[in-house]
Amino acid sequence: MNHQTLTSYLKLLACDGIGVLNARKLLDVFKDVNAIFDPGNQKIFEEFSVSKTIQKAILNFDKDKIVATELQFIQNNDIQWVGILDNAYPELLKECTDAPILLFYKGNLELLNNNCLAVVGTRKISSYGKDTVTGLMDFLQQYQPTIVSGMAYGVDITVYHEARKLNIPTVGIMGTSFKKLYPAAHRNFYNDLFENGLVLTEYAGFNTLAPELFTRRNRIIAGLCSATIVVESAETGGSLSTAYFANDYAREVYAVPGKITDPYSKGCLRLIHENRAQLLYNFEHLATDLNWNLSELKEKAEIKKEINLNDFSALQQTILKSLQKQPLHIDELAVQTHLDMSVLNAELMMLELNGIVMGLPGKIFKVK
């Protein structure tokens, strides 16, 4: 994950008329984002019948200035990133044909390796909706899934508050770039997740803000999770799009029922009526449906607790602190730890032999 690779991803994002699906096709062809902009690879465009429009957008790329500005912003604000060709890219999301080619984030990306559950709903949450969210989070605390939502008003921010009260891992997916946290009133909550959770977006600072970005954001919420719960929604509520995306990805969808006269239950009832969602009649059947084994989860938690940084040398502690956030390429690990490569290799070998660190293909390392 180096500077040149990030530059190439940003250039691909900035190219006019390409979009996510065409970008994915290009990456499937070239297998390397840097190769797409290598003039020596022009013959590959012809070999794989890449459209002339896309060829022209790439070969005549002239937006280096906005890419350079974005690179500087990313560096100045300690924003992390992961490309779809990287091993650290979330596996469930990668399965989706319209998954973003690049994700920007702050916080702990490893939270997405957990059981992930999306909880979404109306911005005009009722007392019934609040009680439902509180009860749901109380039940989920024992399972410690990662809760994914959109950090909007209403259900989203209620989910954030209830999950954080119980120390349930929490992830917020933005419909904007890191240049504009939305809504601004939730800035303190975003700052909390930077340190104690994860905030993620596919949007760069040069993306033009538009309402449709929030709908497109919902596909990421659905794509990251094995299941989506809609708590309350109007009949045409925006959160329904998350359920539709989850349907398209063959993920489980649950809807909380309500009175047929309640306008913010109509969306949930519609999902159930159209067989797009199962009726969430209690919380226990949710864990059963998703095959969450409480004893196995507790065993994993105990194993995780056994790793104490104080048991390792100062050099190994430095390495493990970097790897606890996310898997890293050895070059990036060397940059973060400021260790000479020979020293780093020796310490990594010892950590691997002791079963603490695992080496992945492509010189990627992660905490085992």
Token reading at 192? 């909390």
Is 319 part of a structural domain of the chain? yes
Residue 275: predicted pLDDT: 95
Total of domains in the chain:
3
133 and 262 co-located in one domain? yes
Considering the domain boundaries, does residue 255 fall inside one?
Answer: yes
Q: Do 2 and 331 touch, CB atoms closer than 8 A? A: yes
Kindly state whether residue 337 falls inside one of the protein's structural domains. Answer: yes
pLDDT of residue 138: 96
Which has the closest alpha carbon to 290: 228, 333, 209, 350?
228
pLDDT of the residue at 59: 82
Query: What's the pLDDT score for residue 323?
Result: 87
Residues 270 and 319 in one domain: no
Check whether residue 175 and residue 277 sit in a common domain: yes
Domain-located, residue 71: yes
The alpha carbon of residue 44 and the mean position of all alpha carbons in its chain are separated, in whole angstroms, by 32
Q: Which domain holds residue 316?
A: 307-367
Q: Domain of 202: which CATH number?
A: 3.40.50.450
Mean pLDDT, consecutive 10-residue segments, the chain of 368 residues? 86 87 88 86 74 82 91 94 94 94 96 96 96 97 96 96 96 95 94 96 88 90 97 92 95 96 95 96 90 68 60 88 84 89 89 83 80
- Residue 260 resides in a domain: yes
Three-class secondary structure assignment of 115-158 = CEEEEECCCCCCHHHHHHHHHHHHHHCCCCCEEEECCCCCHHHH
Domain boundary pick from 295, 319, 339: 295
Q: How far is CA 72 from CA 69, 97, 152, 204, in A?
A: 5, 30, 28, 12
Does residue 82 fall inside a structural domain?
A: no
Same domain? 194 vs 117? yes
Instruction: Say yes or no: 10 and 48 in one domain.
Output: yes
Cis ω for the linkage preceding 183 (within 30 of 0): yes
Please list, residue by residue across 139-162, b when 16 or more beta carbons sit within 10 angstroms of its beta carbon and e when fewer do: ebeebbbbbbbbbbebbbbbbbeb
Tell me, yes or no, whether 120 and 65 share the same domain.
no
Percent of residues in the chain assigned helix, strand, coil, to nearest 5: 50, 15, 35
